[in-house]
Amino acid sequence: MDWKIEIKKSVAKEIKKLKKEVQKRIVNFLKKLEKCKNPRSHGKLLRGKKSELWRYRVGDYRIICKIEDKNVTILVLLIGHRKDIYR
């Protein structure tokens, strides 16, 4: 079963601001995530107030997503450098 990746417009703008090689790594990771059977196996569940969200590591960058099982969708909410993403 393939998952559908949905990226917020603000996240797409952030991706465009990154270096080309980082953009490629993120896009390739999202394509890989789209094809996997269980996207939870590649990430970690966040704690606290954001406990319904998942975190994926791509080098020094983090991708914060919400996984919607009913719609078979992964909604990308945030992308940023690891030092800034959790603030």
Amino acid letter at 82?
Answer: R
Per-residue pLDDT reduced to its tens digit, 53-76? 999 999 999 999 999 999 999 999
Q: Map out the domains of the chain as residue ranges.
A: 4-81
Per-residue pLDDT reduced to its tens digit, 27-49? 999 999 999 999 999 999 999 99
CATH dotted code for 4-81: 3.30.2310.20
Q: Which own/partner contact pairs does 62-67 have at CB distance under 8 Å and 24+ positions apart?
A: 62/86, 63/26, 63/29, 63/30, 65/39, 67/39, 67/40
pTM above 0.95?
Answer: no
